[in-house]
A and B are shown apart, each in its own frame.
Chain A
Amino acid sequence: MLRALTLLLICQLLGEAFAVLANWPIPGPVLGLAFLLAGLLILRRSPDWLQDTSAGLLKHLSLLFVPASVGLVQHADRLKVEWLPLAAGVIVSTVAAIAVGAVVFVAVSRLIGAPAEGEDRKA
């Protein structure tokens, strides 16, 4: 676990450094993801110790969004006035984007004749 965590932090650190040096708008962790992926592609396998720790971290990924969610409390005043346009904008656009994204994915997938995956299972 310690080895995996160290590796993840090194990748993130490289990502952060690269983002600052290259002055890119991409966050450091996303670049870190790219670096780790490149490393795994070069290695041609992902070691068990890395898989275990990643699975552990990703299992409770939603927990990690809680502190930022609580940050909404800072905008109580604006939300009191503009809650309707903001809530409607968020809800309508999220539903529309999921629907459009899924439909276009399936349509293009069928167009090029690729088989769908998971048709036999239910959500």
Chain B
Amino acid sequence: MIGATQDIWVYLAETPLLWLTATLIAYGIGHAAFTRSGSNPAVNPVAIAAALLIALLVATDTDYDTYFEGAQFVHFLLGPATVALAVPLYTHLPRVRRAALPMLAALVAGVVTAVGTALAVASLLGADSESLLSLAPKSVTSPIAMGIAERIGGLPSLAAGLVIATGIVGAIVVTPLLNLMRVRDWRARGFAVGIAAHGIGTARAFQVNPIAGVFAAVAMGLNGLTTALLVPLIAHLLL
């Protein structure tokens, strides 16, 4: 019996099906928990799913490459989903155009704040320079962040991890933080979380309000460009 179970496990663990299914189930659990909590932002579906899957990988002694062979099918959809952001953006374009000036100001202030405070806090607390260079681009979407980290001497895969952590933190704090600050303009709320927390922040913004979602998507794109230009410069000056 144990032998048979082991044989099945060995077979399944080798196919992409197992980890693809596990990813969808883990997200399903995370999403159900989020819905049950009355859409409480602290109950973040991505964080729950990632924690469950990491525990499962550690428990079954499975390495990340094996996991990713299955999970890559979900990961792949990030590309077409990014392209699809053009559709809501088109629908709300007149609204976006009218806000060009506030967006530009918030973009510069937000990017400088994100990079500056991250480097200041982490270096004060003793992070090494490889970690700092991986941390600098963490507010942009992961492919851009990985490219920047590589160019300035950080670790691309660590940068990707920090990007994800940033996104989850942003998605969790944005609603209570901006409620506390009494910011009620959906455009400002979405744009701020898009600057600070890229795609995961954008996903959260779309959950809350479509206009916030569109502004978050615009912010994410603009921040990608700004950070790609600005971070190598800041890294060069500071480190």
Contact = CB atoms under 8 A, between A and B. Distances in A.
Nearest to A74: B64
Contacts of B208: 123
What's the dominant secondary structure at chain B's contact region? helix
Interface string B103-126: 101110111011111110111111
A8 to B, nearest CB: 4
Contact of A105 (B158, B161, B185, B202): B185
Given A105-B185, A105-B192, A74 B161 contact: yes
A12 to B, nearest CB: 5
B81 A57 contact: yes
Nearest to A37: B86
A26 B224 contact: yes
Interface string B48-87: 0110011001100000100110011011011111111111
Interface of B: 23-24, 26-27, 31, 45-47, 49-50, 53-54, 57-58, 64, 67-68, 71-72, 74-75, 77-91, 93, 95, 98-99, 101-103, 105-107, 109-111, 113-119, 121-128, 131, 135, 138-139, 141-144, 147-148, 151, 157-158, 160-171, 173-175, 177-179, 181, 183-189, 191-193, 195-197, 199-200, 202-204, 206, 208-209, 211-213, 219, 221, 224-225, 228
